[in-house]
Structure 1
Amino acid sequence: MAAKLKKGDKVVVLAGKDKGKQGEIATVMPAKGKAIVEGVNVALRHAKPTQGEQGGRKPVAMPIDLSNLAIVDKNGKATRVGFRMDGDKKVRFAKTTGDVI
């Protein structure tokens, strides 16, 4: 199945502790059905000091399930993603506005 959400897409969180927050997808893990969104689902991880970095508690964005994310259309609202043929190319489009993503 084609990926509906891709790296660089602006998304909004639909469920969970960060519901309503928006961010950009940094990484997508299709096998696990998860994505890492910048500034969303942040946890503190403890790091030992290394030669190049100082140790301490570092904020790290954790993966969030793809089902809890929706792409943001040009109006700033959450929308579903559809596919259609545009000439010879298969393109993604926003279901609310019909615009190509």
Structure 2
Amino acid sequence: GKIARVIHDKNKVVVEGVNRVYKHVKRGHPKAPQGGRLSIEMPIDASNVMLIDPQTDKPTRTRIVLPTIKGEKKTLVTKRSGAELRKIG
């Protein structure tokens, strides 16, 4: 899923469709005036989130490749296929 919200001070993220829980609310709640159960997404630790490899469409770890020529930028590369994601710094 896509990351909906980042909570920097707790190092957590909210991912769409992941870690959904039911919150039971009484009548008069702004999101459920009649009361009942609200399905909400709870945060998960950022370390449990992986990038999707653009070539294989599967979760992958990443690594940083140092430049061979002085003056070039470092590159973020996927471990699964070696696809280049972006230049860093």
Partner of 1:61: 41
Partner of 1:37: 15
- Give the structure-2-normalised TM-score: 0.64
Structure 2, unpaired ranges of 5+: none
State the Cα distance separating 1:39 from its structure 2 match: 0.9
Aligned partner (choices 94, 97, 100) of residue 78 of structure 2: 94
* 2:62 matches 1:81: yes
Q: Which amino acid aligns with 1:40?
A: V
Alignment of 1:2-41 (within 5 A): 23-41=1-19
Partner of 1:70: 50
Cα deviation digits, residues 17-65 of structure 1 (max 9, x gap): xxxxxx1111112221211111111110022334674321011111111
Structure-2 change in CA distance of 1:32 and 1:51 (3 Å): closer
Structure with higher Rg: it is: 2
Aligned partner (choices 16, 29, 46) of residue 24 of structure 2: 46
- Give the structure-1-normalised TM-score: 0.58
Structure 1, unpaired ranges of 5+: 1-22
Counterpart-to-counterpart distance in 2, 1:51 and 1:65: 28
Instruction: Give the count of matched residue pairs.
Output: 79
